Amino acid sequence: MGISDSTVALILLTLAGWATAFILMLVNIILLQVLKGSSRSKTANWLMVMTYAGLTIGLFTGAFGGLTNSNSKGTWAFVVFTVPIMVIGHSTYLFLTYREQRSQVRREQQSR
């Protein structure tokens, strides 16, 4: 009884999602340094970064019980699939905000 093709595909897609999320988390940190905005907006974005970073640390340190604890399998699976989606969604938001700010600066420069 081996691993089925669909299970291998799910594992590979999950690993690809986590690799993408790790790279985008670094990009998010850089974008947060570059973006202009109110301190309230920056604080909210940093809290988002800390949320998915904390969930990742909790996942890899066993804070959610891991696969061996039958009571926490749902929580573990939720975190495994949700964190990459959170990171990708947040990076999309930050990138669109960056583009908006950049186009606003260009419009101001052209109006001068």
Burial (0-12, 13-18, 19+ Cβ within 10 Å), 44: exposed
Domain boundaries, the chain: 5-111
Specify the pTM.
Answer: 0.84
**Which tens digit of pLDDT belongs to each residue from 21-47?**
999 999 999 999 999 888 999 999 999
The ranges of the chain with pLDDT < 50 are none
